[in-house]
Amino acid sequence: MIFVLVFVLGAIIGSFFNVVLLRKNTGESIIFMGSRCFSCGKKLAWWQNIPILSFIFLRGRCFYCGSRISWQYPIVEFLVGLLAVAVYWRVWGIGSILIPAPTLFDVSMKGAEKTINHLLFFSAFSALFLVAAYDFRTKIIDSHFLYIFGAFAAVEFLLRYPAGGIAGDLVSSFSIALFFYLLWRFSGGRWMGRGDANLAFFISLFLGWPMNSAALFVSFWLGGAVGILLLIFKSGKFGLKSEIPFGPFMASAAFVVWYFGDFFRELIKAFVL
Ligand SMILES: [Zn+2]
């Protein structure tokens, strides 16, 4: 039952993110305007604004003029709802498919601390989600979204500090960012954007060494797999030269490595050390 509640709250936040994503850099106010249809401009009633459900019973069309509503709305609402549940699941140590109990956090944490942890990690990944979703739409790493995530990354980095490894975290994060910077520099922006290096730095700082190296590999693996699929199924539209934004792959990799932290830790131990 609690999962339904967490999912619904996440989906409502996702609904707000849709507005933020669509009005970012358009000069429109994010907060002080009701939702409107992009085609006919009619204001939406509350029942046309329910996350996911409204899209389903309106069959993806505006109630007034019948023009199509973007799939972005239900997809973002669903993903943020799912994110809220996944982080909750992870932080409260309910377990996951691969790991019986989390060790990323102190297992003896009290309820209040876990709630704070849940909110902090949900906020951090929400900011990362906004970076990735905006990059997906526009191929731009938005600096506002990036710095919000960066602030969370810095907090997570500092909270981890007593456990040691501050030098390793910094050196590895700068190295990974430098790697992305060089990819950008030598490809003339065709393989990577300049913003990808900044995003790589903050994700690396957020995860710390050696998890950030795991995220690096996973992101390239994901990017490669999706790139090959696109070549096979949409060979007309996506040539080898087409720019696929890399932010969503980095963000997904960061989440996967964080979520399955113990699994990746064991994997790194088995192969490297
Ligand atoms: Zn309309």
Return all residues near 240 (Cβ < 8 A) that are at least 6 apart: 231
Cα(76) to centroid(ligand 1), Å: 20
pLDDT value, residue 199: 96
Beta-strand ranges (E) seen in the chain are none
Cα(67) to centroid(ligand 1), Å: 6
Cα(19) to centroid(ligand 1), Å: 16
| % of the chain exceeding 90 in pLDDT | 48
Cα(219) to centroid(ligand 1), Å: 39
pLDDT tens digits, 91-112:
877 644 444 334 444 555 667 7
Q: Output the six-digit token pair for 105.
A: 């956090």
Cα(60) to centroid(ligand 1), Å: 11
Residue linked to tokens 């619904």: 8
- Residue 33 confidence (pLDDT) above 70: no
pLDDT value, residue 236: 58
pLDDT value, residue 241: 53
pLDDT value, residue 9: 95
Give the closest residue to 95 by CA, choosing from 260, 272, 227, 273. Answer: 260
C-alpha dist (Å) from residue 230 to 141, 200, 236, 250: 22, 24, 10, 18
Confidence of residue 163 (pLDDT cuts 50, 70, 90): low
Cα(72) to centroid(ligand 1), Å: 16
pLDDT tens digits, 54-104:
999 999 999 999 899 889 999 999 999 999 999 988 887 764 444 433 444
pLDDT tens digits, 257-271:
999 888 888 888 888
Give the closest residue to 14 by CA, choosing from 74, 55, 87, 57. Answer: 74
Cα(41) to centroid(ligand 1), Å: 6
Q: Collapsing DSSP states into helix, strand and coil, what is residue 32?
A: coil
pLDDT tens digits, 227-262:
888 878 775 555 555 578 899 999 999 999 999 888
pLDDT value, residue 230: 81
Cα(30) to centroid(ligand 1), Å: 20
Cα(36) to centroid(ligand 1), Å: 8
pLDDT value, residue 102: 42
Q: What is the pTM of this model?
A: 0.88
- Return d(Cα 49, Cα 16) in angstroms, integer: 11
Return all residues near 10 (Cβ < 8 A) that are at least 6 apart: 80, 81, 82, 83, 84, 85, 122
Selection from 27-36, 160-169, 264-273 with the highest mean pLDDT: 264-273
Cα(78) to centroid(ligand 1), Å: 23
